[in-house]
Amino acid sequence: MKPGFPFSRDPKGSANTLPFGSRLNDVIPKTERAMPTICIRTGLFAAVLFSALFSSGCGKNDPKQLMHKAEKDVEEFLDAWSRGEPPDKFAGSDHPIQGTDPDWKEGRRLLSFLCSGTKLSEEMPDHVRCRVALFLQDKKGEKLDKQVVYDVHLGPKSVISRASP
């Protein structure tokens, strides 16, 4: 074997060129060429595998996601009440959120509300409890504050009801 193989000097004297008429695949052994190909294929396979796992719903019942959805549904429910919509808006089965509140049915007006905590139910995995401060006004115009807890049953439709204290 010549010194400097597979590279040799071209006729002009510059170094690091392949011998005339040869290709890189001809001078590098096949075992040395296979390594980068295997690494690339393995990397691509791993990337496809991880993206398939994460996009298919890993963590579908993640507690943080459940609590966030429940809080969002309670806020939508209470926001409709504060805008003066009728209490039977969430009574129909055609709405994605169903719910009732005794104060709303009695005709009290919701001035404002503040969600102060959300917690997964320990007894039922698809139930979330949301603690809310309600600022109400009754028919006589008297204002009152209440701390209440809503039980949110998450499923194809969210069902919101006032939890017993």
Residue 117: which H helix or E strand, with range?
strand 109-120
> Which CATH code of 3.40.50.720, 2.30.130.30, 1.20.1070.10, 3.10.450.540 fits the domain covering 63-162?
3.10.450.540
Tens of pLDDT along the chain (165 residues)?
455 555 555 555 555 555 566 665 665 666 555 555 566 666 666 665 555 555 444 555 688 898 999 999 999 999 999 999 998 888 877 888 999 899 999 999 999 999 999 999 888 888 999 999 999 999 999 999 999 999 999 988 999 999 875
User: If we measure between CA atoms, which residue out of 130, 163, 133 comes closest to residue 145?
Assistant: 133
Q: DSSP character for 142?
A: -
pTM of the model: 0.62
pLDDT of residue 56: 45
Distance CA 134, CA 145 (A): 6
Q: Are 163 and 121 in contact (CB under 8 A)?
A: no
For residue 89, the number of C-alpha atoms closer than 13 Å in the C-beta half-sphere is: 13
Distance CA 118, CA 95 (A): 23
The residues, any chain, with a CB within 8 Å of residue 114's CB and separated by 6 or more, are 132, 133
